[in-house]
Amino acid sequence: MARFRMTTRWALTLAALAVLLPVAKAGEASAPPRWLADLPLLQVLIYGSVAGLALSVLILLLIWWKEWRRGDVW
Amino acid sequence: MESFAGAVVIFAVGGVVTLATTVMVIQGHLHWRGRDPWGEG
Amino acid sequence: MVISPTLAVQPFLAPGIAWALVVIFSVLWIALGVSWGRRGSGDADDYMLAGRNIGLALSTATLMASWVTGNTTLLAPEFGYRNGLWGMFSYALAGLGLVLFAPLALRIKTLMPKGRTSGDFIRLRYGRAAWWVFMVITATYTLGFLMTQAMGAGILLEALSGFDYRLGMVVVIGVSTIYTLYGGMRAVVGTDFIQSLLIMGLLVLVAVLALRQFPVPELHRALVEEHPERLNLLLPAGLLIAWNSALFSMGEVFHNNIWWSRVFSSRASVVFSSFVLGGLAWMTVPLVTGSIGLVALAQSVDLPQVNMLFPVVASQLLGAGGAALVFVVVFASLTSTLDSLLASTADLVAEDVVFKLLNPNMSDAQLRQATRLVVLGLGLLTLLLSWPRLDSLASVLFFTGALVASTIWPVAYGLYWPSANRGAAIAAMVSGSAVGLAAYVLIAPYCAALLSAAVSAVVMAVGTQLQPERFDWLTLKEG
């Protein structure tokens, strides 16, 4: 019984170390990983969202105009 | 929790919950497509 | 490009111009609201749900306008400014709530052709006990939402134009209440259409001018040199908040009657498309306003308060004209959100509490009258609750994320699976809210909606597996 307890304790400690060491190491390695967005990504994001918003206005007006002509707005 | 590893854990859990909810809704939607909406399912 | 500190402290707009804008837009909203309210058959359904036949254009626009709150124009730039790209992504993911609600909206419209509120669904699907839990959650959230919009109105109009806090609040609540009271849902939906076009069009204008003055390559270079963390896609603070808005927004949209009343008001053929279109279009708004935050950061704009970023940048770029544009955008955002909240909450209280709970023998005309009285009462209650100014309230109210996220699974599960169990639904809402609130206090606010949704999902799924119910969908049709 005592032996079992010792083994379990060792196994638990080892398992904990196996999990915690890499995590601690990652934290210790001063700077966490970084991935800076490059210029094309930022351009797609910003120009894309402005264009998307402008397009939404146009689509909304177009749908409204079509529905208005059919008398289908309400 | 401010550590990188902690942030990755929270990010992963959030992603899993969001994905699970999305899958549940899409599954339900596809299940009822073309079926009698009042039926047993 | 650093603006002088004196300009930053003073209001951006001369009081005369601000008053002129308030009078013009107040008169316009009230006149349009009242005249649209005269259309239609004049029964309770017409007042509460605009005749249940709104087309795609108005339906999409009303979703956009209601979801663009004062926060989307003023808090989203702050998110970009403080957390960079992840701040913008996270905010934009709130559009997911609307997009994912599209399939549910279709099912609701099919199953409940005579339904009026989200409370109707919970009561018929899960019974009275679940309804009580649901009403506590929705009442807490809705009152919080009403108060943040009202206080936001007072604080913003004060900062933009030097109005006294209470004066600004009374004007915005007063105008929204008057046209909602006289025109009902028709007034809300009609004005929302114009308000959403104004908001989107003016935002495009400000963004294009900002980017012409500070093109993206220059912006990228300045950020890499001065603030590289804002571009970091692995930023820990960004990863932590990444999914928070998505889950919070699903909780808000799936349960709240603002969105259910839009489903019942719209034509069956357009509900699906309007939620998808509205959600996708909405997602561009925080990205655009967030980009304005990045421009402010790259230009090292001197800010009196971070939440004044959008007005500062706009007035720098366009002078007094820019400040006037921002004033119009903010005024439209606030009134369009408040009118929706007032109308749909009045529907919920009148239908679920006054009619179904207290007086089931009410006539149609009495129900219509009761809804109008509730609109007025809610307007006055909001005014009363927001009278003492609490600047920290907005952040405290994020705790409602813990409550609303617990309704996501009970609502969606109950719409799709006849086996969804009523006991499990109650347990899911209660346990999800409790764990979410504990996480809010003990861990961090960004964990609240996440853990609440996770726990309620597990409880709902496991409870249903253990004791499947056999729900008859026709129960919903009759309600």
**How does DSSP assign C297-323, residue by residue?**
HHTT---SSGGGHHHHHHHHHHHHHHH
A73/C228 CB distance under 8 A: no
User: Distance of alpha carbon C159 from its chain centroid, rounded?
Assistant: 22
Element (H, E) at B30: helix B4-32
Asked if B5 and A23 come within 8 Å (Cβ–Cβ), the reply is yes
What tens digit of pLDDT does each residue of A16-61 get? Answer: 556 555 555 555 555 788 888 899 999 999 999 999 999 999 999 9
Residues found in chain C: 479
Chain A residues with CB-CB distance to B4 below 8 A: 26-27, 32-33
CA of B41 vs chain A CAs: smallest distance (Å): 34
Which chain B residue is nearest to residue C249, measuring alpha carbons? B18
Tell me the average confidence (pLDDT) per consecutive run of 10 residues in chain B, 41 residues long: 82 94 95 89 67
The CA-based angle C368-C373-C397, given to 5 degrees, is 115
Q: Do C239 and B7 touch (CB under 8 A)?
A: yes
Question: What distance in Å separates residue A31's CA from the closest CA in chain C?
Answer: 11
Nearest CA in chain C to B29: C103
CATH of the domain spanning C5-392: 1.20.1730.10
- Cβ of A54 within 8 Å of Cβ of C204? The answer is yes
Determine, for residues C201 and A37 on separate chains, whether the beta-carbon distance falls below 8 Å: no
Chain centre to alpha carbon of residue C263? 15
Assign residue A30 a region (left: φ > 0; alpha: ψ between -120 and 50; beta: otherwise): left
Q: Distance between CA C332 and CA C195 in Å, rounded?
A: 5
Chains that touch A (3 or more CB pairs under 8 A): B, C
**Phi and psi angles of residue C266, each rounded to the nearest 5 degrees, phi first:** -85, 160
pLDDT for position C5: 37
Q: Which residues of C touch A34 (CB under 8 A)?
A: 228, 232, 234
Rounded to the nearest angstrom, the gap between the alpha carbon of residue C233 and the centroid of all alpha carbons in its chain is 28
CA angle C37, C41, C46 (to 5 degrees): 60
The distance of Cα C7 from the centroid of its chain, to the nearest Å, equals 32
Q: Choosing among C240, C272, C435, C443, which should be mutated to test the B contact, i.e. which has the most B CBs within 10 A?
A: C240
Whole-number Å distance between alpha carbons of C58 and C74: 25
Instruction: Return the residue matching tokens 């996440």.
Output: C450
What CA–CA distance (Å, rounded) separates B13 from C427? 22
Burial C408-443 (b: 16+ CB within 10 A, else e): bbbbbbbbbbebbbbbbbbbbbbbbbebbbebbeee
Q: Counting one residue from A and one from C, how many pairs have CB atoms under 8 Å apart?
A: 110
The verdict on a CB contact (< 8 Å) between B21 and C107 is no
Among the partner residues A46, A57, A73, nearest to C200 by beta-carbon distance: A57
List CB contacts of C439: < 8 A, sequence separation 6 or more. C402, C447, C448, C450, C451, C452
**Interface residue ranges in chain B relative to chain A, Cβ cutoff 8 Å:** 3-5
Q: Is C319 on the interface with A (CB under 8 A)?
A: no
Test C236 with B15 for CB contact under 8 angstroms: no
Residue (of C6, C5, C7, C12) closest to C327 by Cα position: C12
Residue of C nearest to A65 (CA): C57
Mean pLDDT of each 10-residue bin along chain C, 479 residues long: 40 84 92 87 87 93 89 84 91 94 96 93 96 95 90 84 89 93 91 91 90 91 91 90 93 95 94 96 94 88 76 81 86 90 93 91 92 94 89 72 96 95 96 96 91 96 94 86
Residue of C nearest to B18 (CA): C247
Q: How far apart are CA A13 and CA C311, in angstroms?
A: 57
B11 touching chain C per CB within 8 A: yes
Residue C112 near chain B (CB below 8 Å): no
- Chain B: partners with 3+ C-beta pairs within 8 Å: A, C
Specify the pLDDT at position A22.
57
Please tell me which residue of chain B has the smallest CA distance to C416: B28
Helix orientation angle between C364-386 and C165-213, rounded to the nearest 10 degrees: 80
* Cβ <8 Å between B3 and A33: no
Tell me what pLDDT residue C2 has.
35
